[in-house]
Structure formats: C-alpha cells, structure tokens
A and B are shown apart, each in its own frame.
Chain A
Amino acid sequence: MTDTPAPTIWPALTYADAPAAIRFLVEAFGFVETLVVPGEGGREIAHAELRWPEGGGVMIGSTGNDNEFSQRKPGTTSTYVVTDGPDALFDRATAAGAEVVRDLRDEDYGSRGFTVRDPEGNLWSFGTYRGA
C-alpha cells in the first residue's frame, strides 16, 4: 500500500449538479469520496471531499448553497492532476464519456498526458509531469 501525504492544497469546484459531478469524477477518473456533507435541499452538496489515489484531493460544493463559493459560475475551473498511468486513465475517462480537449500525447517537456472536459465544462488535465 502506497502511503501518500495528506493534501495541503485543495482545489475547490462548484457544480450545478454536485452529486452527478461526484459520480463522474469517481467513475471517469477514479477519485475516491472521503466526506459528504449535504446542503439544505435534496440535491445540494454543501461540501464534499474527494481524494486522488496518487496524492491530493479536491473539494466539491453545489451552487444554490448560501455562501460565497456557491455564487461561482460552474464549469470555469482548470485542474492539473499528476498520474503515473496516463494511458489507462485516458481509456477510462473517455470510456466514461469525458470529452477530449487535448488528446493523449507526449509533451516536449517530458510529460505524457491529456486534457478532458467534465459534464459542466471544467477542464481536467492529467500527466506524468510532477512540477519543476
């Protein structure tokens, strides 16, 4: 079992349909849910945390909650996620219906990865590049 350090930076994304977004992130990419706090209504998520199995995580909330984050326009976030298995992940993501923005390719800076769009328009890039 590979121990990964606890995340200290959490991208936070706002979705109009957070439960559907979480399902997509779990099924298409392999994020793992760790915490779910519902909002007042039946469909809203006040706060959810998803871990990336190779380290890191994202926080998810719904529009329609009574806070500043819920006022954010959904679908405007770009997130880059490090993975050692971009090929398998590309197959998984596209099989689950992720819209390809940049095909799987080798970059001149040594990374191999791809970019897809989630159902609400956010861009998710995955690659082997771990930062300089």
Chain B
Amino acid sequence: MQGTQHAGDQAKRVADPRLPRLPCSHLRRARLSAPRPTVVTMDEPLMEMVAGRPRAPLSPFVARYTGYRIEGAPPGMHRGLPSRHLTVIVTLNGTVDIATMPDPAQPSGSFTTLAGGLHAGPALISHNGYQHGIQLHLTPLGTRILLGLPAGELANTVVELDTLLGPVARELIERLRSASTWTARFGELDNILIRIARQRDGPAPELRWAWRRLIDHHGRMEVTTLASEVGWSRRHLAARFQREFGLTPKVAGRVMRFEVAHRLLRASQRPGLADVAVRAGFYDQAHLHREWRQLTGCTPARWLAEEFPSVHDRRTEGGGSSTA
C-alpha cells in the first residue's frame, strides 16, 4: 500500500479539471487476467473486478452486481456512461467523487453510497487510484420496488442512498464492509434487497411493456409504434414514460442503441466503426460519431484509444474475464 501522503498528492492532481488525461471509460475494465500475485510487490497496482448475479426473485429489478477493488492505479478520471440501468454504489472504502454530474448544473459531490438515475450524458468521476465498492445495476422497473420512487425522479441526479432508504443504507454499509468475500457480500445484498422489496406496485403495465419492447428491440423502435401497441397517444406515452423512467422513449432508445455500439466495440472481435454503426442501428458512421460524442463527451476513436491502448492489451484483458 502506498503512503497516504503520496495518495493525497495524487488526489490533488486529479482534482485539477485541466488534467489532460481523461480515460473515456465506465469504470475501466480491470485486468482480470492478472489478479494480485500471492507475493505482492509494493508498486504493482491491484485491480480486482467481480461479477455477481442477484438471486432469482431479484432478477427483474437488479441486472447484476459488480464488485471492484483498485489499489495503486494511476490516478485519473473516468466517464460514467449512459446505460439502461440506474447505478447504486455502496463503497467499502473511500468515496465516489463525482467531478461533473450528468446534469452539469448539479454541484459536484463525494458519496459514500449513491443512487443515480438514467442519464443521456457522461458523468465525470475523479479517482486517486484507490476504489473499493459494489455497484448494483438497477433496472428502471425495479426502482419503485427497491428504492421507493419512480426512476424518473432520479433522472440526471445522484443522491446518497440514505435519503431513499433511511437507516437501511447504514445497515447495507455495515454488512457489506464486515463480510470477508465478494460471495458473502453479494449474499448480504440479496438478503437485504429481498427484505426491502416492499409490496409496492411497479410501474404501470403500459410503461413496463414499453420499456421491455424497447429493450427487446435494442432501442430500435418508433415511439408511434410503441404508443399504438399500448393504446395511448404518442404524447401521453412520451410524457408518462419520461415521468416514470427519467428519459423520453426516444432518448431511452438512443441510449440502448449506444449500448449496442459500446458492446460491439468492447468485443474481442471488434468490427470496424462503419460496421458497428450499421449493426447498432445508426444511419451511418457520422451518426454514430455524433451520438457517441453527445452521450460520452468524446469520439469513438478517442474512447477506443484510451480504453484499448494496444491490441495486445485488449486481447489479454478480454480473455476469459468476467461477464460484468
């Protein structure tokens, strides 16, 4: 472990918004192929990332858990990218420091726990190379049931978990921090979430249907078609959808198409950008380029260069790593 003085210096450097290096990634993929050796040398960074699936009754509400522990990595920024899932984080050590919120009008903040809604622009998270926590990938269908409010009320917003869960947030922190393995932590999460999943109604069936249809079509569905399927006017659907989930159906569709492109570009057999554009449902590569910029704050080429500095790295990182 490096000295705190050193880490503090790094943190100060990270806080400088003019920092040139800005890795354009969502919690950069840890090198799972190289976990910590039994005998650790002091200057080797530790990067651990663990995928967990919630127990079956929770699966409509939580897509997955991701445990992460990063120690001694180069300090920097990463981009929290738009996705179809809300983000809940319980830190096991330290804080999550959001330098720029998805809604830049919101003030920056440090969070021990957080719940963040859907967003259609990047969040910038500064880190000093030490990060330890669990991320829950919440579906908008489960937000009412697990957090007690529609996902729409959290759109473009990040709040501490206790504002939503009260004392259960403290209990979560304590249980997760006292568990000694990721398996045990995921088990504790299952237990607490199943307990707090109150008998509330989820979203209206029309909205659940519309969300599922968009997901099933990877965001490639006309709002007019959706509206006619649920039997509402286009306007009414758009308004209700946005109130419930936080994004209009059109923007949600854009985020889902972006996710397809994002997944294709992360694959070990990465297609060319023109091919990605077609397969993810964009008109052309220029369209993909524009969308990527809007949703992530940087171009696909720059994101690729930062995420996969060399083909060699990409191959070694991709091999047999987690499904996170």
Give A residues with C-beta under 8 Å from B: 1-7, 18-19, 22-23, 26-27, 30, 32-38, 40, 42, 45, 48-49, 51, 53-54, 83-85, 88-89, 92
Residue contact A6 to B319, C-beta cutoff 8 Å: yes
- Judged by a CB distance under 8 angstroms, whether B322 is at the interface is yes
CA distance A4 to B319 in the complex (A): 10
Residue contact A35 to B323, C-beta cutoff 8 Å: yes
Give the Cβ gap from B42 to chain A, nearest Cβ, in Å: 13
- Judged by a CB distance under 8 angstroms, whether B117 is at the interface is no
CA distance A37 to B54 in the complex (A): 7
- Judged by a CB distance under 8 angstroms, whether B182 is at the interface is yes
Interface size range on B against A: 35 or more
Give the Cβ gap from A5 to chain B, nearest Cβ, in Å: 7
Residues on the B chain within 8 Å of A27, using CB: 180-181
Smallest CB-CB separation from B44: which chain A residue? A1
Smallest CB-CB separation from A51: which chain B residue? B35
CA distance A48 to B50 in the complex (A): 10
Task: Give 19 CB contacts A-B under 8 Å.
Answer: A2-B37, A5-B33, A6-B320, A6-B321, A19-B181, A19-B184, A22-B183, A30-B36, A33-B50, A33-B67, A34-B32, A34-B49, A34-B50, A35-B52, A35-B323, A36-B183, A38-B55, A45-B183, A53-B37
Residues on the B chain within 8 Å of A18, using CB: 183
Give the Cβ gap from A115 to chain B, nearest Cβ, in Å: 17
CA distance A96 to B53 in the complex (A): 28
Give the Cβ gap from A130 to chain B, nearest Cβ, in Å: 15
Other contacts beyond A3-B31, A34-B321, A40-B55: 6, CB < 8 A: A33-B183, A34-B51, A35-B51, A36-B52, A37-B53, A54-B37
Residue contact A6 to B33, C-beta cutoff 8 Å: yes
**Are A38 and B190 CB-contacts (below 8 A) given A2-B37, A53-B36?**
yes
Majority SS at the chain A contact face: mixed
Residues on the B chain within 8 Å of A35, using CB: 50-52, 322-323
Q: Which of B35, B37, B38, B53 contacts A38 (CB 8 A)?
A: B53
Smallest CB-CB separation from A29: which chain B residue? B38
Give the Cβ gap from A6 to chain B, nearest Cβ, in Å: 3
Smallest CB-CB separation from A89: which chain B residue? B38
**Are A36 and B36 CB-contacts (below 8 A) given A3-B31, A23-B180?**
no
**Are A1 and B53 CB-contacts (below 8 A) given A6-B320, A23-B181, A48-B183?**
no
CA distance A42 to B34 in the complex (A): 31
Smallest CB-CB separation from A55: which chain B residue? B33
Q: Which of A5, A38, A40 contacts B187 (CB 8 A)?
A: A38
Per-residue CB contact flags for chain B residues 49-75 toward chain A (1 = under 8 Å, else 0) read: 111111110000000000100000000
**Are A22 and B181 CB-contacts (below 8 A) given A36-B186, A51-B35?**
yes
Residues on the B chain within 8 Å of A3, using CB: 31, 33-34, 316
CA distance A52 to B49 in the complex (A): 14
Q: Which of B45, B52, B180, B319 contacts A5 (CB 8 A)?
A: B319
Residue contact A88 to B322, C-beta cutoff 8 Å: no
Give the Cβ gap from A59 to chain B, nearest Cβ, in Å: 12
**Are A51 and B32 CB-contacts (below 8 A) given A6-B320, A34-B321?**
yes
